[in-house]
Amino acid sequence: MEITELPPTRLDLPGGEEPVYIATLRWALEPSEGEDPPELGKMWSRKGKFSVNGNRSCAELAVVHHLRDDGWHGFWVNAFGPGPGELRSEWFLAPAVETIAQTGAPLWAVEIFDGLRAANGGKLSGFFDVFAWREPGEVRFDEVKVGRDPIGDNQRKFVKLALDRHHRLDHFTIIQVPKPPVRRQPHPPGL
Q: Which residues pair with 77 in a beta bridge?
A: 87
What domain range includes position 129? 31-141+152-170
C-alpha 97: how far from its chain's center? 15
Q: Are 119 and 111 in contact (CB under 8 A)?
A: no
Angstrom distance (rounded) from CA 63 to CA 140:
12
Q: Is the pLDDT higher at 14 or at 188?
A: 14
Check pLDDT > 60 for residue 155. yes
Q: What would the mean pLDDT of 160-177 be, rounded to a whole number?
A: 96
Count up the domains in the chain and report the number. 1
Q: What would the mean pLDDT of 92-100 be, rounded to a whole number?
A: 88
pLDDT value at position 183? 56
> 120 in a domain, yes or no?
yes
> 73 in a domain, yes or no?
yes
Q: What is the dihedral of CA 95, 97, 102, 106, to 10 degrees?
A: 110
pLDDT digits (tens, 9 = 90+) for 11-33: 999 987 789 999 999 999 999 88
> 45 in a domain, yes or no?
yes
Mean per-residue pLDDT over the chain, rounded: 90
Angstrom distance (rounded) from CA 76 to CA 89:
6
Q: What angle do CA 72, 64, 100 make, to 5 degrees?
A: 75
Q: What angle do CA 96, 117, 145 make, to 5 degrees?
A: 65
Alpha helices in the chain (DSSP H): 42-45, 59-68, 107-119, 153-164
Check pLDDT > 90 for residue 188. no
Give percent of the chain above pLDDT 90.
Answer: 67
Amino acid at 44: W
pLDDT value at position 182? 64
> 160 in a domain, yes or no?
yes
**Which range is most confident: 18-27, 28-37, 92-101, 178-187?**
18-27
pTM recorded for the entire structure: 0.90
> 97 in a domain, yes or no?
yes
pLDDT value at position 81? 66
Q: Which of 37-51, 53-67, 71-85, 109-123 has the weakest average pLDDT?
A: 37-51
Q: Which residues pair with 23 in a beta bridge?
A: 173
> 147 in a domain, yes or no?
no
Q: How far is CA 164 from CA 12, 46, 156, 171, in A?
A: 15, 35, 12, 13
pLDDT digits (tens, 9 = 90+) for 56-84: 899 999 999 999 999 999 999 998 766 67
Check pLDDT > 70 for residue 47. yes
Q: How many CB atoms lie within 10 A of CB 32?
A: 21
